């Protein structure tokens, strides 16, 4: 039996898989509010106490960098250690990997039903693949062909310096630099970024904020879903919310294009995370691909790169399971 997990700052998804049924079909799965537990060990123990099975191996995708078998989780006071998990959970082998690396493991095996294609392009066989995933934060990973299969590689590119591509974004950068010691792409192109863009449009660009929207934003801790819903309301779209989402899409497209250049992702770019499936109308309009391919002399090359949105909401969990099965094969 294999235990796989998608460990996030807000929620943790756990599932048990068997070699017979494979990585796409968990025997049992459950979701837990991460913040209600003092540690990953405590959360996993509660889950396993309900299952009454013996786990031989575990693979956890975590929302943070993994260094020498240890990881910290963004927005959680957890320190996670492979050896400590093995001992406390009595699981012989435990491996941690970055959550974007988990997604990347599954990308070569996705079905057409798992994807929505923004740009069909011309995929080069065995060409590198890029994954960029805006959710609570901004995750990035990539895959290269090693001669026999695709091999996933970690990246913390979402924390690289935000680079404006026009005077509007240059003004946005200046606004954010007054408020943060470092302005990364994640400060703009993630769930954390929505309120930052919105505040810029309101305070610096003096866009009107409807009274009803101000009241809704004041009543919630996480403003991003409220802003997003106001922008996606086709019956009564809110101008400042629409402008926020348009800015988000342009920055996402530009950074996706940057990543495609850096790893030469001729096999395709995959948009993961929780946000892209929710904003498909904005990704398939005339804003995303022009910003993606706006790279001067290499713009023509980028226009041929396939771009897909990953629709499967369990992709990180399934990728962790796939990694676990690969680990079993290597042991």
Same structural domain, 42 and 140: no
Please identify which residue in the block is written with the tokens 């509660």. 46
pLDDT in tens, 103-153: 999 999 999 999 999 999 999 999 999 999 998 889 999 999 999 999 999
Count: domains in the chain: 2
Phi, psi of 325 (to 5 degrees): -70, -35
pLDDT in tens, 259-294: 999 999 999 999 999 999 999 999 988 899 999 999
Find all residues with CB under 8 Å of 112, minimum gap 6, and list them: none
Domain contains 10:
yes
Same structural domain, 255 and 234: yes
Same structural domain, 77 and 38: yes
Same structural domain, 85 and 152: no
Same structural domain, 59 and 188: no
pLDDT in tens, 296-328: 999 999 999 999 999 999 999 999 999 999 875
Find all residues with CB under 8 Å of 176, minimum gap 6, and list them: 162, 183, 187, 188, 196, 200
Domain, as residue range, for 183 = 114-310
Same structural domain, 253 and 304: yes
Same structural domain, 219 and 271: yes
Average pLDDT value for residue range 37-46? 94
Domain contains 109:
no
Per-residue model confidence (pLDDT) at position 328: 56
Same structural domain, 16 and 136: no
Residue 290 and residue 283: Cα distance in Å, rounded? Answer: 11
Per-residue model confidence (pLDDT) at position 151: 93
Domain contains 306:
yes
User: CATH number, domain at 58?
Assistant: 3.30.420.40
pLDDT in tens, 166-177: 999 999 999 999
pLDDT in tens, 43-87: 999 999 999 899 999 999 998 888 889 988 767 888 999 999 999
Is it the case that residue 329 has pLDDT exceeding 70?
no
Residue 39 and residue 34: Cα distance in Å, rounded? Answer: 8
Other C-beta atoms lying within 10 Å of the C-beta of residue 139 = 29
Same structural domain, 306 and 318: no
Per-residue model confidence (pLDDT) at position 8: 84
Same structural domain, 302 and 318: no
Same structural domain, 118 and 93: no
Same structural domain, 130 and 275: yes
């Amino acid at each position: 039996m294999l235990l796989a997990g998608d460990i996030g700052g807000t929620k943790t998804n756990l599932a048990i898989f068997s070699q017979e049924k494979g990585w796409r079909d968990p025997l049992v799965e459950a979701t837990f509010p991460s913040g209600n537990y003092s540690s990953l060990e405590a959360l996993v123990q509660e889950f396993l106490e309900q299952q009454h099975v013996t786990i031989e191996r575990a693979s956890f995708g975590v929302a943070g960098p993994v260094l020498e078998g240890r990881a910290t989780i963004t927005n959680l006071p957890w320190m996670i250690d492979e050896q400590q998990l093995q001992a406390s959970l009595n699981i012989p082998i435990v491996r941690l990997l970055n959550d974007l690396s988990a997604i990347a493991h599954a990308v070569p095996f996705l079905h057409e039903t798992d994807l929505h294609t923004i740009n069909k392009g011309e995929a080069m066989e065995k060409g590198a693949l890029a994954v960029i995933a805006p959710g609570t934060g901004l995750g990035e990973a990539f895959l290269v062909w090693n001669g026999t299969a695709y091999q996933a590689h970690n990246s913390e590119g979402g924390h690289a310096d935000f680079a404006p591509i026009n005077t509007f974004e240059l003004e946005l950068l200046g606004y954010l630099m007054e408020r943060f010691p470092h302005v990364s792409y994640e400060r703009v192109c993630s769930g954390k970024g929505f309120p930052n863009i919105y505040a810029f449009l309101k305070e610096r660009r003096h866009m009107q904020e409807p009274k009803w929207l101000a009241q809704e934003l004041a009543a919630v801790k996480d403003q991003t879903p409220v802003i997003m819903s106001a922008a996606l309301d086709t019956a009564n779209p809110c101008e400042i919310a629409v402008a926020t989402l348009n800015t988000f899409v342009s920055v996402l497209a530009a950074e996706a294009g940057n990543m495609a250049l850096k790893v030469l992702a001729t096999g395709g770019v995959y948009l993961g995370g929780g946000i892209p499936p929710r904003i498909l109308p904005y990704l398939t309009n005339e804003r995303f691909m022009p910003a993606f391919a706006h790279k001067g002399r290499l713009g023509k090359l980028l226009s041929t790169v396939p771009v897909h949105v990953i629709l499967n909401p369990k992709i990180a969990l399934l990728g962790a399971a796939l990694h676990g099965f690969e680990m079993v094969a290597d042991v």
